[in-house]
Amino acid sequence: MKPAAFDYVRAESIEEALDVLRQEGADAHILAGGQSLVPMLNMRLAKPRIVIDIMHLPGLKRIETGGGMIRVGAAVRQRELERQADLGTQQPLLAAALPWIGHAQTRNRGTVCGSVAHADPSAELPLVLVALGGEIELRSRRRSRRVAAATFFAGMMSTDRKDDELVEAVRFPMARSGAGYAFREIGRRHGDFAIVACAAVVDAQRAQLAVGGVADRPVARQLPLPGDPALEDALDAFAWDLDARDDLHATATYRRQLVRQLGRQTLEEAARCRA
Amino acid sequence: MAAHGDDLKVTQGVKDWVGRSIPRFEDAALLTGRGHYLDDLGVPPGTLEAAILRSPHAHAEIEAIDCTAAKAADGVFAVVTGADVKALTSSLVVGVKAGIECWPIATDRVRYVGEPVAIVVASDRYRAEDALDLIEVRYRALPAVVDPLAAAAPDAPVLHPGANGNVIGERVFRYGDPEGAFAAAAHRVRVDVRYPRNSCTPIETYGVVAEYDPAEGAYDVLANFQGPFSLHPVMARALKVPGNRFRLRTPRDSGGSFGVKQAIFPYIVLIAVAARIAARPVKWIEDRLEHLAGSVSAANRVTTLEAAVDSDGRIAALAWDQLEDCGAHLRAPEPATLYRMHGNLTGAYDIRHVKVHNRIVLTNKTPTGLNRGFGGPQVYYPLERLVQRIAIELNLDPLEVIRRNLVPAEAMPYRTATGALLDSGDFAGTLEAAVAEGQLAALQARRDAARTAGKHYGIGFAAVVEPSVSNMGYITTPLTPEERRRAGPKNGAQSTATVSLDPLGAVSVQVASAPQGQGHRTVLAQVIADALGLKPQDVRVTTEVDTAKDGWSIASGNYSSRFAPAVAGAAQIAALQLRERLARIAAAQLNVPAAEIVFADGRVATRSNPDNATPFSRIAAAGHWAPGTIAAEIGQTIRETVFWTPPQLTAPNEADEINSSLCHGFIFDFCGVEIDPMSGAVHLDRYVTMHDCGRILHPAMVAGQINGGFAHALGAALYEEYAYAADGSFLSGTFADYLVPTTMEVPEPIILHRESPSPFTPLGAKGVGEGNCMSTPVCIANAIADALGLAEIDLPATPAKLAAHIHPSETARPGRPQPVARPGKGERVLFGEGRAQVNAPPDQVWRMLLDPATLEAVVPSAHGIEKIFDTYFRADVTLGIGPVKGRYRADIELSDLDPLRAVTLSGSAEGALGFGRGSGRVKLEPNSGDGTIVTYRYEAAIGGKVASVGGRLLDGAAKLIIGQFFSALAAHAGGGKQRSGVIGRLLRLLRRKA
């Protein structure tokens, strides 16, 4: 478990990081908190030629609120967001989901944008981003662009990010008045990858449920409001459409049943939490 | 250890240090980062580092190994293969007569995922691992056998061609009249159990530093080996040197072992040979991936246990049928897991008639070895499940069935039907105390209330005898009496301890036990302080073992919970023998008879006149300073080495009765669990564990042992399994898939005690560290079975398994076809299907499929596609998902050609990250318009590193890659939209070929 040789670039500016990405493309990999990349390096699952450390760039370390958004820069650690004052009122879904990410020790190192860029189908932050309809800010030497979460996540550890692009920030919509939010997850142990995770947003007109850990990416869907008798069939259809698979820890049948039950509970909790 | 002296509240005149929870002498160093662990110790100048290439296949012939590039790599000193090892060693001894050998490295074929194939010795571990990637091994895959029942079938693929099938040992035993008892029985009750594979996974992995001195023809090895030192002669014989030319040393501290570091011994041989070939000292530290896949596992076992029961629930007879899965090789001391409990097959019960059918089978899994509980969980799981089934089938209270069968206190010492001599204990009284002090009645009320509220709540029980201090003779039980006669008797448990006095009168103690965190140094200091009238901090204990200098025997080492009963006892005897001689010196100086001499408070005094005294150190130093003044009949008083073996540990007799262990503690556990109706997760509401482990030497450490064993057992019950796919792929290659419970998952059990000192050990102590690994898994399983009304339950009791009994059964999706048939449990075979729209007519698509240029175009990372013949291609491809990329050698074949309509694509790929093979049927249909609809169904198997560490993501990744291949194909044909960059990952398709 020793990594293959790679060059380490400690970027002194965003432009430097982007230059290296442009020159090296897929052979370069951004190192942020390292909670996924470093084990992959050690196991030699990933062998990038260049690792670009962006954690020293002050421009990426900011959490900003404004315009109805919480904008989290690429060098912000998960724990920093978790400890942000008023996060529970700014975006209760984010506040509820963050403690489910790994352990306090991994959150002290892992970054918000790193988790989004890694796009593990069980990860909480991509799920929250999709549930809220958030956006990803991508930047390269060529251009800057924003991508909606729903189109950013392309599949298992695959995203819309081009090889020369840096995930510069992610944008979580702030809580809307009249909307309730809830997050629930079932895993094997404290801190494990979710077998099923659910994030719900419910207001007077609409209920949205997003599910992680089942499909190859987080998936959100509009569903009937809790209390509507049509909800049960809609949840059942949603559970089937996620194309659950068996793995070592759970069967597809089990996952579908959790989507039905946990999904309903999460929606009901969100409805109860409507401000 | 002056720091400790200040912490100890020393009370003058305290009689006994033993029995008190004094602060551990080990802890100051361990808690401040000053532990002496193997990896932290200095190494000789010029020491190189080794890395091991391991098999990605469960079963394959090695057709060729090309080490040329690896040998030429920067910093590489040697590359060692099976042929090199074979040239310098002989096979490790195999414990049964079955015509098989046991090499520490693959010589002609690989038999489990993780088996060593080659060793690179380089200037550092990084370069060594770089060179591993340069070794080219050509494998020819063989069918793997994973399931022990399948492996035992007559037509199963055979792992070792020299053996007559995979069953390499079989014996039938009869004790009493089991047939008569079954014929006369009112009831027969039976359980069928598959006990899973797991391991105690210590934090510190294996480590070896080995050196070879060509001038002496001798090996010198430092390793975190834990014993038994019966493996020393096994290693010396393998290395083809006399024992005195194989020096084995162990470091002071261990980052845990729990039995697991017994199985480092094949690696000691390997690294020793590597050092000899490299002509330099070589260090190897096992990493976590290696440890989980390739070190050792507890044995999994398939058991059928049947009881002959009368209408009161009294068990007259047991019939055991045990099929033990020892993995790919039978490594010493296996098949000991199967026989360690042989004297205890009746557990805590008075059952006089027993029949046993034992078989040992080899499968394509990691070889097995010592593991906390060793053989106990595999026996008590069926036995205590059976007791619960008896209660249910006879409509009795399970507790009442236990009560009616316990060995009565007045029968102690009690000889079991199979030969164990239970040394002491009041099982019934201990059980009643547990019921009262553990408040069973309150727990039952909780269960009733929970059930009234509609909850899934259950209570389980387990009564267990915990054996300790193994009889070295039990490992000959698998031999027939005649084979044993020819081999000569093997028996005993020789323990060693040395107590030394230095010229200032200070006391040192040395034992050959290799502690794994059990606080040897503290407990020995307590024992010796009591014997010599000193304070524990006056006694310095060393526990590093050095076979070149220390007194040791084949029974030395730290296993079978032998420290407190045997090793500490031997140390006490050594101190008392020394004291007896010191008393005679003191008697002469103080002018009193030796019987008048007392040792207390650091002084040697006369009983009747305490003022007539002299400091202990003065008497103790006399042997150094004035040996001429000591009477010849007293002898030297500088160093006393004691060898102690209990007479009760005799060899198996002609009737195959074996007293497999010296001491037998008693445990009675009960617990309440509630199962979450949605997730199926088990909430352990209350766990009570009552222990009688004889005399308690250090209560806090006993509690530590019980808590630790309980945590391991909870893991075995609910979380941990070394899982294998049907093709032998290993699926639990990281701690993300091998789930060890953390402090968040482990509740604190309520621990209760009784003390029935063992009459057979010097201190009255028995072992205590393994008992909960025997009692807890089945106690929890019984509670779950009670909660859900299950007749059968196999571990680990995962939420998904339990939820299947709770959730409503799922009906097929309305209005949709039935889902594709799923593979069986644990199958690593992936199935999938998909379709793509191509803007080209079928004949054009057909030509593309047969054209290597197409492959080159849709797999941009393919290098040099080679057309071997018209329908067979070979290529080097780089494949990956996200950042996970690897280079593979791929073979692709087209077959079953149905021109313009369908073709089967088969392929395989192999690279450093693993291998895959698969096939898929591709069908072309014209669509309305001028295009083609391509549909495909595939099945694929993936093995090696990606399967071991990425199981959770594998299915999704395969689906993604195969789908990408066809979208790329569509894009190449001018159809569909293809995002740039995605095609590059299209990778594995080739290995699994859709």
Q: What is the CATH number of the domain that holds B635?
A: 3.30.365.10
Say which residues have a Cβ less than 8 Å from residue B990's Cβ, sequence separation at least 6. Answer: B855, B859, B862, B875, B877, B879, B888, B890, B892, B907, B909, B965
Provide the pLDDT confidence category of residue B986 given band limits of 50, 70 and 90: very low
Provide the pLDDT confidence category of residue B7 given band limits of 50, 70 and 90: very low
The residue that leads in pLDDT, B145 or B820, is B145
Provide the pLDDT confidence category of residue B927 given band limits of 50, 70 and 90: confident
Residues B341 and B280 in one domain: no
User: Measured between alpha carbons, how far is B220 from B280 in angstroms, rounded to an integer?
Assistant: 12
Q: Using an 8 Å CB-CB cutoff, list chain B residues near A251.
A: 800, 804
Judge: A248–B745 Cβ closer than 8 Å, yes or no. Answer: no
pLDDT of residue B822: 47
Residues linked to residue A223 through DSSP beta bridges, in sequence order: A207
pLDDT exceeds 60 at position A237: yes
The closest alpha carbon to B644, from B587, B715, B567, belongs to B567
- Which of these three, B623, B644, B665, is where a domain ends? B644
**What distances in angstroms separate CA B198 from CA B260, B324, B360, B626, one per listed residue?**
11, 14, 18, 58
Percent of chain B with pLDDT over 90: 79
| Residue A151 in contact with partner chain B when CB distance is under 8 A | no
Residues B282 and B330 in one domain: no
pLDDT exceeds 90 at position B865: no
- Our separate counts of H helices and E strands in chain A read 11, 14
| Residue B45 in contact with partner chain A when CB distance is under 8 A | no
For chain A, the domains span: 7-53, 58-173, 180-272
- Which CATH number belongs to the domain containing residue B867 in this structure? 3.30.530.20
B 448-507 residues inside an 8 A Cβ radius of A? none
The residue that leads in pLDDT, A61 or A155, is A61
Fold category of A180-272 in CATH: Enolase-like; domain 1 (3.30.390)
Output the CA torsion sign for B843, B844, B849, B853: positive
pLDDT of residue B286: 98
pLDDT of residue B471: 96
Q: Give me the interface pTM, i.e. the ipTM.
A: 0.96
pLDDT of residue B989: 35
pLDDT tens figures, A193-203: 999 999 999 99
Provide the pLDDT confidence category of residue B821 given band limits of 50, 70 and 90: very low
| Residue B815 in contact with partner chain A when CB distance is under 8 A | no
> Which of A91-95, A153-157, B342-346, B974-978 shows the lowest per-residue confidence on average (mean pLDDT)?
B974-978
pLDDT exceeds 90 at position B8: no
Tell me the residue type at B480.
Answer: T
DSSP β-ladder status, B48-54 and B60-66: unpaired
- Which CATH number belongs to the domain containing residue B65 in this structure? 3.90.1170.50
Percent of chain B with pLDDT over 70: 92
Peptide bond preceding B615 in cis form (omega within 30 of 0): no
pLDDT of residue B478: 94
Q: Does residue B90 fall inside a structural domain? A: yes
Which phi and psi angles does A117 have, rounded to 5°?
Answer: -65, -35
Judge: A44–B742 Cβ closer than 8 Å, yes or no. Answer: no
Residues B52 and B88 in one domain: yes
> Which of B269-278, B484-493, B767-776, B843-852 shows the lowest per-residue confidence on average (mean pLDDT)?
B843-852
B 127-186 residues inside an 8 A Cβ radius of A? 129-130, 133
Q: Using an 8 Å CB-CB cutoff, list chain B residues near A155.
A: 956, 960
**What distances in angstroms separate CA B222 from CA A191, B47, B201, B563, B967, one per listed residue?**
37, 13, 21, 22, 57
Provide the pLDDT confidence category of residue B817 given band limits of 50, 70 and 90: low
pLDDT of residue B885: 76
As a whole number, mean pLDDT of residues B222-238 equals: 98
Provide the pLDDT confidence category of residue B407 given band limits of 50, 70 and 90: very high
pLDDT exceeds 60 at position B312: yes
Q: Does residue B822 fall inside a structural domain? A: no
Residues B336 and B436 in one domain: yes
Of A163, A240, A258, the CB nearest to B813: A240
Interface test with B, best of A31, A42, A43, A164 (most B CBs within 10 A): A43
Q: What is the DSSP letter of B567?
A: I
Q: Which two structure tokens, joined as six digits, stand for A121?
A: 């189908």
Residues B206 and B192 in one domain: no
pLDDT of residue B977: 38
pLDDT tens figures, B184-206: 999 999 999 999 999 999 999 99
CB neighbour burial string for B290-325, b if at least 16 within 10 angstroms, e if fewer: bbbbbbbbbbbbbbebbbbbeeebbbbbbbbbbbbb
As a whole number, mean pLDDT of residues B142-169 equals: 96
Q: Does residue B549 fall inside a structural domain? A: no
Residues B636 and B502 in one domain: yes
Provide the pLDDT confidence category of residue A275 given band limits of 50, 70 and 90: low
CA distance to partner chain B, nearest, from residue A258 (Å): 7
* HEC letters along B330-373: CCCCCCHHHHCCHHHCCCCECCCEEEEEEEEECCCCCCECCCCC
Taking the whole predicted model, whether its pTM rises above 0.90 is answered as yes
CA distance to partner chain B, nearest, from residue A65 (Å): 31
C-alpha Rg value of chain B to the nearest Å: 32
- Our separate counts of H helices and E strands in chain B read 27, 35
As a whole number, mean pLDDT of residues B732-754 equals: 96
pLDDT of residue B872: 85
Q: At what angle are helices B398-405 and B427-437 packed, to 10 degrees?
A: 150
Q: Does residue B679 fall inside a structural domain? A: yes
Q: Which two structure tokens, joined as six digits, stand for B648?
A: 């009760």
Residues B267 and B306 in one domain: no
Q: Which residue has the tokens 């060890």?
A: B740
Q: Does residue B552 fall inside a structural domain? A: no
Fold category of A58-173 in CATH: 3.30.465
DSSP β-ladder status, B353-361 and B414-415: unpaired
Residues B270 and B385 in one domain: no
CA distance to partner chain B, nearest, from residue A260 (Å): 10
User: Measured between alpha carbons, how far is B990 from B553 in angstroms, rounded to an integer?
Assistant: 57
Check: CB of residue A206 under 8 Å from CB of residue A275. Answer: no
| Residue B833 in contact with partner chain A when CB distance is under 8 A | no
Q: Does residue B843 fall inside a structural domain? A: yes
Q: Where are the beta strands (DSSP E) in B659-713?
A: 661-675, 682-692
pLDDT of residue B974: 59
Tell me the residue type at B727.
Answer: D
As a whole number, mean pLDDT of residues B401-412 equals: 98
Which domain, by its residues, includes B258? 44-142+200-294
- Which of these three, B613, B644, B675, is where a domain ends? B644
Tally the residues of chain A.
275
Q: What is the DSSP letter of B985?
A: G
B 901-920 residues inside an 8 A Cβ radius of A? 912-913
Provide the pLDDT confidence category of residue A89 given band limits of 50, 70 and 90: very high
pLDDT exceeds 50 at position B993: no
CA distance to partner chain B, nearest, from residue A68 (Å): 32
Residues B250 and B356 in one domain: no
| Residue B679 in contact with partner chain A when CB distance is under 8 A | yes
Q: Does residue B754 fall inside a structural domain? A: yes
pLDDT exceeds 90 at position B975: no
pLDDT tens figures, B420-477: 999 999 999 999 999 999 999 999 999 999 999 999 999 999 999 999 999 999 999 9
Residues B567 and B607 in one domain: yes
Judge: A158–B984 Cβ closer than 8 Å, yes or no. Answer: no
Of B289, B719, B985, the CB nearest to A43: B289
User: Measured between alpha carbons, how far is B127 from B48 in angstroms, rounded to an integer?
Assistant: 11
- Which of these three, B603, B621, B644, is where a domain ends? B644
Provide the pLDDT confidence category of residue B884 given band limits of 50, 70 and 90: confident
Q: What is the DSSP letter of B86?
A: H
As a whole number, mean pLDDT of residues B644-653 equals: 96
pLDDT of residue B877: 77
pLDDT of residue B2: 36
pLDDT exceeds 70 at position B135: yes
Provide the pLDDT confidence category of residue B887 given band limits of 50, 70 and 90: confident
As a whole number, mean pLDDT of residues B569-591 equals: 97
Q: Which CATH class is domain A7-53?
A: alpha beta
DSSP β-ladder status, B353-361 and B300-309: unpaired
pLDDT exceeds 80 at position B10: no
| Residue B744 in contact with partner chain A when CB distance is under 8 A | yes
Q: Which residue has the tokens 């079978």?
A: B560
pLDDT exceeds 70 at position B982: no
Check: CB of residue A215 under 8 Å from CB of residue B758. Answer: no
User: Measured between alpha carbons, how far is A54 from A51 in angstroms, rounded to an integer?
Assistant: 10
Q: Does residue B907 fall inside a structural domain? A: yes
Interface test with B, best of A45, A138, A152 (most B CBs within 10 A): A45
pLDDT of residue B939: 81
3-state helix, strand, coil in chain A (%, to 5): 35, 25, 40
pLDDT of residue B68: 98
Number of structural domains, chain B?
Answer: 4
User: Measured between alpha carbons, how far is B338 from B477 in angstroms, rounded to an integer?
Assistant: 10
